[in-house]
Amino acid sequence: MRETKFWTWHLLAGCAILILGSLHMITMHLDGVLGLFNPAGPHALDWANVAARAKQTAYVVIYILLLGTALFHGFYGLRNIVFELGIGKGARSFVNAVLVIGGLALFAFGTWAAVAAQAV
C-alpha cells in the first residue's frame, strides 16, 4: 500500500515536472526563438536575465516546486532501479537512507539558493 502511494506520487511528480520542467526548458533553451522570462535579451544565462528571474517571486516558487518534484521523481526512480536488482534488506535500508538524506539536503540547499538569490 505504501509503495502504491509512492508510485502514485511518482506519476504525479512526473506530471508536475512536465509542466514546470517544460517551462524551465522553454526559458533556458528557446530563449532565442521565444525569449520568455528573459527581459534583458535572448541569452538566458546572462547575469541580467538570471538576476531578473531570481527576483520574481513566481519564478522562485516554480524553481522550488520543480526542485522538490524532480528530486522525488528522480530519486524514487533510481530507488526502483536499484531495488529491482534484488539487493538484500540491509542494502535496501541503506539505499533508502542515502536517498532520503541526500534528497532532503539537496532540496534544502537548492531552496536556500533560490531564496537567497532574491536579495543579490
Partner 1 sequence: MADPKKYDNRLGLKGWWGGGRWGFERYLYTLHRLTGLGVLSYFVLHIFVTSSRAFGSVAWEQWMGTVAGPFFRVGEFLVVLAFIFHAFNGVRLILIELGFAVGPAEEPIYPYKTSLNTQRPLMIAMMFLAGVAVIVTGYDFWMLH
- In degrees and rounded to multiples of 5, residue 39 shows phi and psi of -65, -20
CB atoms within 10 A of CB 18: 11
Q: What is the DSSP letter of 36?
A: T
Interacting residue with partner 1 among 33, 57, 58, 90 (CB under 8 A): 33
- CA distances 113 to 22, 85, 87, Å, are 21, 36, 36
Between CA 112 and CA 118 the distance in angstroms is 10
Query: Min. distance of Cβ 62 from partner 1 in angstroms?
Result: 13
54 binds partner 1 (CB under 8 A): yes
52 binds partner 1 (CB under 8 A): no
Residues of this chain that bind partner 1 (CB under 8 A): 3, 7, 11, 14-15, 17-18, 21-22, 25, 29-33, 42-43, 45, 47, 50-51, 54, 67, 70-71, 74-75, 77-78, 80-81, 83-87, 106, 109-110, 112-114, 116-117, 120
